[in-house]
Chains A and B, each alone.
Chain A
C-alpha cells in the first residue's frame, strides 16, 4: 500500500471545473465545520476562498494556539556536503552547475556543531546532495554520531533511502526525516529532474512512508511551490500528510512550504506563488489538519515570516546557512539565497515580543 494508490484517485480531478462550481455558501459551510473532508480542503484552496483569508486566518490562529500553544520551535540546517549526481532544473547544487563541491570532514562537522550550538540551537536538520559516493549512508551516520553529542533533536534531509538505511540512522540518533516531493505531477517531475537517480518518482514518493516504518518520530514533507499549479500541489501534499498521519498514528507529520527562490542557473517557476497564495496554503493546511506541524525556513523574508507567525506556523529556522557548513567558517556556493538573515538572538527577541515562546529543545532521546 502506498500513497500513490490514493494519489491516483485524485490526480485527474478536473480542478478548474471544481473551482468554478465553488460558491460563497460552500466556503462558509467549510469554515463552520470542525472536521474537514478532502473536498472541504480543496474548497479552501479555491480562488473564491482567497476572499475569505481573514476568516480562515482567525480560525487557523485559534486552532494553532489550541493545539500548539503560543510556541515556535527553532532549528537550523547544516549542509554536510553538496556533491550531487542529479541534474534538477531548479536547484543550485545540480550536477551541471560547475562549482567546486565541498564536504565536511568529521572534524569540521564538530566545529560547525559547536558554532551552531553556541547560538542556542538544539534542533538540527542535516542535509546532503545525492551522492552515494561522497555522502554515503556511512558518512551521514558517522556525522550523526558526532552531532548527537551536541543536539537533542536531529532530522535528515538527504536523498531517499531504503527502510533499512533509515532504520540504521534512527538507531544512530536521527529522529526526523525531511523529504520534499518537489512536485506530485509525474510529467513535470520527469521534466525537471533531467538526469540522475532522483528521476525515480515512486521511490521518492514512498520515502516518507519508509521513514515512518523505520521509526522516525517526525516526518516532514512538502512540494516545492512553483513547479506546478500551487492549488493542486498543496492539495496533494495535504492528502499525503493526511495519509501518513492516519496510517502512522505515532509519527508527527509536518508540512513545509519551500517556494522557488533565486539561485545560480535560471529556472523559471511554472506557477507564481505570491504572498496571498502562500498564506492561503498555510491556512488551508491548518484547517484541514489541525495537528499538523507547519515549518517555515529562511527562504522567506523576515517581514513575511513575522506576519505568517500567527497563521499556523509551528517551526522556524533561524540564522541559517545553506552553504556547506557556513557557521564556523564561510565557504563556497549556497543552495539558495536566504532572505531572513537575522541572528538567532534577534529571532528569539522577535518571538518574545510577539507573545510567542521560542523553544529550542522539544525532547531528549534517552
Chain B
C-alpha cells in the first residue's frame, strides 16, 4: 500500500525515521538530536536502578511529541519479554512495545521463536507490538497471524553499522507481508537508510549510527533527509534498469519461421 502517512497502532506518523536513545555521550545531546531528527517514535530500555549511581530517567530528555516505544532488551525468553512489556505499560509509557528477545551475547541475534510467542501474548493484551526479528518469511507470516502491528527485520547485527546485509530477505518481506516493515539494526549510514526506503521499507530505526557519530545532531539531520529521499524515490518509481544479459542465441526465432 503506497500511502504517504505511516499508520501504526492508530497513530499517524509523518516521519519514517524511528530513533533510539542508547550509546549517546550525554543525555542532553539526546534531546537536541531527537529534535534535529524530526523523528516521532523513539525507543528506550528498562533497567534496574543502580542505587549507588542512580541515572536520570531518559524520558525526561524526550520531546513531548514523540511516541514512546519501550523495548524489552535484556529479555531472553518470551516470559521475560512479557514481564518487561507489562512493567513498561504500567509505568505509563503507552502501550507500544518493541520486542527484543535476545539470548545471544556474541552477535545479539534475536530469537525469532520466543519473539513469536511473546507477540501472541502481548497482542492479546492490547499492546501495539513491534517485534524485532531476523528476517524470515515464515516467522513474519506467523507474526502477522498473531497480531503484530509491524515487523522489524534486522539489516545487519546490532551496532555493526554494516548496512543491509539481509537485503534479499527484507525484499521478500516487503513483497509478501502486509504489515509495515521497519528495518532495524545495522543501518550505519544515511545511504543505507535511503536504500532501505527505496526498496519499499515503511520505516527504519537508527540508533548507533546517530548516537556514536562525531556530531549526532548533524547525523540525525542527514538521516532525516535520507529517509525522506528514499521514500520519495520509491514513490516516484525508478526507471528501467536492465540487469539481464542481452540475447545469446534467439529463443523465439522459430515463430517467424526461422
Partner-B contacts on A (CB < 8 A): 25, 28-29, 31-32, 34-35, 53-55, 57-59, 61-62, 246, 275-276, 279, 307, 310-311
Interface CB pairs A-B, < 8 A, 25: A25-B240, A29-B237, A29-B239, A29-B240, A31-B244, A32-B240, A32-B241, A32-B242, A32-B244, A34-B171, A35-B171, A53-B252, A53-B255, A54-B250, A54-B252, A57-B251, A58-B245, A58-B246, A58-B248, A58-B251, A61-B251, A246-B176, A279-B252, A310-B251, A311-B251
- Chain B facing A: main interface SS: loop
Considering the chains assembled together, what is the distance between the CA atoms of A25 and B251 in angstroms?
Answer: 23
| Shortest Cβ distance from residue B255 to the other chain A in the assembled complex, whole angstroms | 5
Considering the chains assembled together, what is the distance between the CA atoms of A25 and B237 in angstroms?
Answer: 12
How many A-B residue pairs lie within 8 Å, measured between CB atoms? 44
Residue of B nearest to A37 (CB): B175
Asked whether B251 lies within 8 Å of A62 as measured between CB atoms, the reply is no
B49 located at the interface, meaning its Cβ lies under 8 Å from any Cβ of chain A in the complex: no
8 Å CB contact of A275 from B237, B245, B247, B255: B255
| Shortest Cβ distance from residue A29 to the other chain B in the assembled complex, whole angstroms | 5
Contacts of A307 in B (CB 8 A): 254
Q: A35-B175, A54-B250 are in contact. Are A279 and B255 (CB under 8 A)?
A: yes
Asked whether B244 lies within 8 Å of A58 as measured between CB atoms, the reply is yes
Q: Hey, what's the 0/1 contact readout for B223-258 against A, CB within 8 Å counting as 1?
A: 000000000000001011111111110111111000
Considering the chains assembled together, what is the distance between the CA atoms of A25 and B253 in angstroms?
Answer: 23
- Chain A facing B: main interface SS: helix
Contacts of B255 in A (CB 8 A): 53, 275-276, 279
Residue of B nearest to A62 (CB): B244
Contacts of B175 in A (CB 8 A): 35
Partner-A contacts on B (CB < 8 A): 171, 175-176, 237, 239-248, 250-255
Residue of B nearest to A307 (CB): B254
Contacts of B250 in A (CB 8 A): 54
Contacts of A279 in B (CB 8 A): 252, 255
Contacts of A246 in B (CB 8 A): 176
Other 7 A-B pairs with CB < 8 A, given A28-B240, A307-B254: A25-B240, A31-B240, A35-B175, A54-B247, A275-B255, A279-B252, A311-B252
| Shortest Cβ distance from residue B85 to the other chain A in the assembled complex, whole angstroms | 30
| Shortest Cβ distance from residue A312 to the other chain B in the assembled complex, whole angstroms | 10
Asked whether A54 lies within 8 Å of B251 as measured between CB atoms, the reply is yes
Name which of B175, B243, B252 has the most chain A CB atoms within 10 A of its CB. Answer: B252
Considering the chains assembled together, what is the distance between the CA atoms of A307 and B251 in angstroms?
Answer: 8
Name which of B244, B246, B247 has the most chain A CB atoms within 10 A of its CB. Answer: B244
Considering the chains assembled together, what is the distance between the CA atoms of A54 and B247 in angstroms?
Answer: 8
Considering the chains assembled together, what is the distance between the CA atoms of A28 and B242 in angstroms?
Answer: 9
Contacts of B171 in A (CB 8 A): 34-35
Considering the chains assembled together, what is the distance between the CA atoms of A311 and B255 in angstroms?
Answer: 13
Residue of B nearest to A283 (CB): B252
Contacts of A53 in B (CB 8 A): 252, 255
Q: A279-B252, A307-B254 are in contact. Are A32 and B243 (CB under 8 A)?
A: yes
| Shortest Cβ distance from residue A35 to the other chain B in the assembled complex, whole angstroms | 5
Considering the chains assembled together, what is the distance between the CA atoms of A61 and B246 in angstroms?
Answer: 12
Considering the chains assembled together, what is the distance between the CA atoms of A318 and B245 in angstroms?
Answer: 33
Contacts of A276 in B (CB 8 A): 255
Contacts of A275 in B (CB 8 A): 255
Contacts of A55 in B (CB 8 A): 247
Residue of A nearest to B241 (CB): A32
Considering the chains assembled together, what is the distance between the CA atoms of A57 and B256 in angstroms?
Answer: 14
Contacts of A31 in B (CB 8 A): 240, 242, 244
| Shortest Cβ distance from residue A282 to the other chain B in the assembled complex, whole angstroms | 11
Asked whether B247 lies within 8 Å of A58 as measured between CB atoms, the reply is yes
Considering the chains assembled together, what is the distance between the CA atoms of A114 and B93 in angstroms?
Answer: 74
Residue of B nearest to A278 (CB): B255
Contacts of B240 in A (CB 8 A): 25, 28-29, 31-32
Contacts of B254 in A (CB 8 A): 307
